[in-house]
Amino acid sequence: MAPKCSESFLEQMIKNIRISITGKVQGVWFRGSMQHKARELGLTGFVKNEPDGSVQAEVEGEEAALERIVKWCAEGPELAIVQNVAVTEGKVVHYTSFDVLR
């Protein structure tokens, strides 16, 4: 019989990060592409455009997958010109899907 994992152990495996992406990142299908990539990586959270022209995302998942989505954000979709990607850690809120917010 396998040992049970405590909820606190499982929560340590899941992390939450906030990502701010600047550059030519609106009007280039960044949000839709990020949603596709995040779902492919098994991540949850959301991505949205900001009035200042940046794209903001809050993403949850395992650390290796989070590292991959941050790396993807540095490139973005084909038409994007990413100038900067800033990442901060957040508190896990247990998103159940990855959504594009309007």
CA 72 to chain centre: 10
CA distances from 49 to 2, 54, 64, 94 (A): 44, 6, 25, 22
Measure the CA–CA gap between 66 and 89, rounded to whole angstroms.
11
State the catalytic residues: 31, 49
Spell out the alpha helix ranges (H) of the chain: 7-13, 30-40, 63-75
